[in-house]
Amino acid sequence: MPGNMHSTTEAGAPSQNQAQGSTSQAAASPVHWLLLGQIVTRVKGIGNRVHSTPTRDSIQLPRDPGNMHDRNAITVLISTGQNLGNINSQLAAILAALMDSAALRLQGKTVGKRGSRWTWMRPDICVQLYGRSGMVTRAELEEAGVVFKDDFKVSSSSDESD
């Protein structure tokens, strides 16, 4: 599957004592993140307050467990820090516990045809799901109801399809 071919590594840098051979602490082992695939979804919630959402803008997707409407909420923030809303509650219900346990990371971009009023008010987002090696698999996410769109390309042209 093309969705699980990429990986990244995050390792805690060893302290100076560890680098010099101290045995008081074991060196931090690297954490491997595998790209499980990508999904395309529409922003829900307060997105209609945004009048001009840049297409292909990088987004952050932090958890918002204090959200009074949805304890599984995952917020959509554009690069300026502006809150566009949340991903839909059904998808958030699947992903929230995995994010809370540090088994899953999300990153993405806004997508859609520029100039479309609906897109500007409630942009679609393309979200890449990275799973921590050994903690979550693509098959588990698919079984839980996640529908991957690995063939979706975030185009740089102005004639993207909705």
pTM summary value: 0.73
SS3 category, 15: coil
Phi-psi region of 107 (alpha: psi -120 to 50; beta: other; left: phi over 0): beta
Residue among 47, 59, 53, 44 at smallest CA distance from 107: 59
- pLDDT at position 137, please? 95
List the beta bridge partners of residue 124. Answer: 42, 111
- What is the model's pLDDT at position 4? 45
- With a cut of 70, list the residues of the chain below it in pLDDT: 1-27, 46-54, 112-122, 154-162
- Total count of residues recorded for the chain: 162
Question: CA–CA distance from 152 to each of 64, 132, 162 (Å)?
Answer: 27, 23, 11
What was the pLDDT predicted at 149? Answer: 92
Q: What is the pLDDT of residue 82?
A: 85
User: Which tokens hold the place of 51?
Assistant: 């009048």
What distance in Å separates the CA atoms of residue 141 and residue 95, rounded to the nearest whole number?
A: 8
